[in-house]
Amino acid sequence: MVEVEETEELASPLLADVPSSSSRKSHRSFKRTGTVWTAIAHIITGVIGSGVLSLAWSMAQLGWIAGPLGILVFGVISIISSLLLCDCYRYPNPEVGHIRNRSYSQAVRSYLGKKSMYVCEIFVQESYYGYGIAYTITSAISMRAIQRSNCFHNKGHDAPCEFGDNLYILLFGVIQIPFSQIPNFHEMEWLSIFAAIMSFAYTFIGTALGLAKVIGDGRIRGDITGVSTTNVAEKVWLTSQAVGDIAFAYTYNIILLEIEDTLKDPPPQNRTMKKASTAAVLLITFFFLCCGCFGYAAFGNQAPGNILTGFGFYEPYWLIDFANVCIVLHLVGGYQIFSQPLFAAAERWISKKLPNSEVIKKNYALKLPVLPELRLNVLRLCFRTAYVASTTALAMLFPYFNQVLGVLGALNFWPLAIYFPVEMYLVQNNIRAWTRLWVVLQTFRVLCLVCTIFAFIGSLEGLINSKLT
């Protein structure tokens, strides 16, 4: 192992104030080569994840009218939110501003001030961490599903093929430790493109299996109002969890500016990012509708919580196995997409507190046969390994797929996808109070807040109930 000098910042300044001149110089060492296509790949990797697998279940709770409508509404909200946020990459002008906001928190700091940044940072870092937990749970369920699929194939569909999650949760954590040593977001294009291909693969397989079952059965299952319950309260709880799951499926705003920071210019990054965001969300919404609707049409009100692991499908078993392998491979990349900004935040904070520490400054080159040279840093190795261990432990403590997704989606949707983007847009464009546009945006914000509170309460009740029972 060879010791080398650290020649670049450990991470993007996620928690920093407006970047200093030295910070800007340091970031020039990163050559921005991203295009609209790489941005779409990053977005798809971040959005088409564990959330898409729960959409058939969400449709079952909402029914044939509210289900598709809910997916479309959240898709439109996601496009609006992302278009507002794309203009916040540069400050004060969205195209030629001299300050680059390389993260969500920096943009809030630039436009709304330091106090707002601190509030925003709580939600941002909690969201990154929550995605790590959710993706760990989902990957473990998919790995277990492969074992169950082979068991059902060999022993029959009525065989007692029950296996625990903990071993697979630990295995996913072990896999994430070396991937977490990737220095920063700028070196992840290859992983995002690969993960995006995997996400398309399993989404297409889930959609195709649902369509094939509908054609084979010769009828479309499901009801206008969804699942029937014994009382109104239970229906309300299930509906709110479904709304939370759909919200989780669309959330990617927290990584939008990190993605925009990888784009080359000209053309201006905000224009490229708007094209990428609109195209990606439209494509994602189409896949969400196909996966959710065909899954619900195939299974009706008995749609499983996870379309590819709940064993509505048994055969062809090899295709089920392949789809679940694609899920695991995709979520390996998805985990990093949402973890890298948190790594950046923590490591920059530590480096500012200990500016003269040799542990932080030194990199070590590890040369392995065949593989390219690996650059290790003691801080990076220790902190990121501890982070992976903590998400793994919490996933083992709360391995409840639909409930965890609902809580995370509802908790982060309004502040990160609605409140801060709208507030920054109002400040950036000097929109005066009680003008027509101001009233429209405030109404939009209040309606989304009511939806978020409803989804959060129901999803939290479901999580607590699952843990207790």
Does 21 reside within a domain?
Answer: no
Does 13 reside within a domain?
Answer: no
Does 339 reside within a domain?
Answer: yes
Does residue 184 have a pLDDT over 80? no
* Residues paired with residue 375 on neighbouring β-strands, in sequence order: 365
Q: How far apart are CA 97 and CA 420, in angstroms?
A: 20
- pLDDT of 217-234, one tens digit each? 888 998 998 888 888 888
Q: How confident is the model at residue 392 (pLDDT cuts 50, 70, 90)?
A: very high
Does residue 185 have a pLDDT over 60? no
Does 294 reside within a domain?
Answer: yes
Q: How far apart are CA 401 and CA 142, in angstroms?
A: 11
Domain hosting residue 69, numbered range? 34-466
Q: Are 14 and 105 in contact (CB under 8 A)?
A: yes
Looking at residue 109, its pLDDT comes to 93
Q: How far apart are CA 119 and CA 126, in angstroms?
A: 11
Does 303 reside within a domain?
Answer: yes
Long-range contacts from 347-351, C-beta under 8 angstroms, 24+ separation: 347/10, 347/11, 347/379, 347/380, 347/383, 348/9, 348/10, 348/11, 348/12, 348/13, 348/14, 348/15, 348/16, 349/15, 350/379, 350/383, 351/9, 351/10, 351/379
Does residue 141 have a pLDDT over 60? yes
Does 18 reside within a domain?
Answer: no
Does residue 9 have a pLDDT over 60? no
- pLDDT of 88-128, one tens digit each? 999 888 888 889 998 888 899 999 999 999 999 888 888 88
Mean pLDDT of 148-153: 85
Does 71 reside within a domain?
Answer: yes
Quote the tokens at residue 300: 């009706």
- Give the chain's domain count: 1
Q: What is the CATH number of the domain that holds 453?
A: 1.20.1740.10
Q: How far apart are CA 317 and CA 323, in angstroms?
A: 10
Cα angle for residues 276, 77, 106 (degrees, 5° grid):
65
Which secondary structure element, helix H or strand E, spans residue 84, and what is its range? helix 55-86
Q: Are 391 and 403 in contact (CB under 8 A)?
A: no
Quote the tokens at residue 222: 């499901």
Mean pLDDT of 360-385: 74
- pLDDT of 189-215, one tens digit each? 677 678 778 878 888 888 888 888 899
Does 412 reside within a domain?
Answer: yes
Q: How far apart are CA 276 and CA 41, in angstroms?
A: 9
C-alpha distances in angstroms, 69 versus 124, 292, 405? 28, 12, 20
236: exposed, middle or buried (C-beta count within 10 Å: 0-12, 13-18, 19+)? middle
